[in-house]
Amino acid sequence: MNPFEKQILGNTGVKIPILGFGGAPLGELFEKVEHRQAVETLKEAYAAGIRYYDTAPWYGHGLSEHRLGNLLQQKDRHDFVLSSKVGRVYRPFKGDPTLFDGSPWVGGLPFDWHFDYSATGLERSFIDSTMRLGLNRIDLLVIHDLDASYHGKSVSKKLKELESGMEWLKKLKKSEVIRGIGAGINDIEMIPLFLEHFELDFFLVAMPYTLLNQEPLEEIFPECEKRGIGIIIGSPYASGILATGSCEESKYGYTNVSEQMRNKVQSIEKICEAHRIPIKAAALQFPLAHPLVSSVIPGSLSAAQVLDNIEMLKCPIPSEFWIELKQAGLLHPEAPVK
């Protein structure tokens, strides 16, 4: 695969490279990232040819946007595509910053937040993001974390709150300040709810469609296809385990790995070894075989990881490999593969 090949994203008309850069690790999710390391990682990404970058206010409570903006401010604005997210509004932490608990981020900046999906909240979130980034335009704006894992039984209330927010987003798109409206998905059950209530251009799917989970193939992706809605895969390594393999330190779904999931990964690893294919290559290339998927955006913590992601997309994978995964029951029988 050519990592820099571009595909149109859903209803946006925007062409994005099939390999992008996920900005969550620069917010210091599982480990601290020194400023110099972040700078070198982003410089390598741009020098290597990556031209799609995704971030969010949530990532390190603004730290990821600051770091990414520091790079992109220096580049020609027409040369790259940028996405960020709305739904959280931030304010400075009032206490001693050394006492700030930024969980789940191990680092990040000392800023408190609250959810607000109303027009007023989304506008404030958007404006704050442009200032953190130092850029006056964000191409793709994503409604962030409106799901049961964050809101529980209040999801319907938040969807109602989003009605005014969606009207504001539509006006923003019509005025060409942004080029596309999406929703970030962690819980697959949220996609039908969004489809029922709102018109979107794409979904940024963080977990539900990977080498380990193809649940959306049954009903959800076909419905998206009918509506021309595109898909970006936000966590192709399933938050870690498909990059690190089945070792004890692995993460799946941003938490510790169950024994059942570890066993499944070990079974995939055996087939990878038989075909001499890195599991990372299979993980990155698998989602891109689906016609709805325009891009995968793995995160990187170093320049070496950036270059490795590029090489993983270039790695040849024979059709026999995918056939064997399906025969072993490790991949959905109808999953598109290349």
What residues are labeled active site?
Answer: 54, 59, 85
> Do residues 102 and 112 lie in contact, with contact meaning Cβ atoms separated by under 8 Å?
no
What does residue 81 show for φ and ψ, rounded to 5 degrees? -110, 135
Geometric angle at alpha carbon 147, from 141 and 150, rounded to 5°? 105
The H or E element that residue 204 is part of is: strand 202-205
Chain length of the chain: 338
**Which residues lie across from 84 on neighbouring strands?**
141
Give, for 111, the enclosing helix (H) or strand (E). Answer: strand 111-115
Q: Which amino acid, residue 299?
A: G
Cβ neighbours around 101 below 10 Å, total: 7
Name beta bridge partners: 252: 255
Quote the CA–CA distance of 17 and 3 in Å, as a whole number: 7
Contact 241, 265 (CB under 8 A): yes
Conformational region of residue 238, where left means phi above 0, alpha means psi within -120 to 50, and beta covers everything else: left
Q: What tokens were used for 38? A: 């972040």
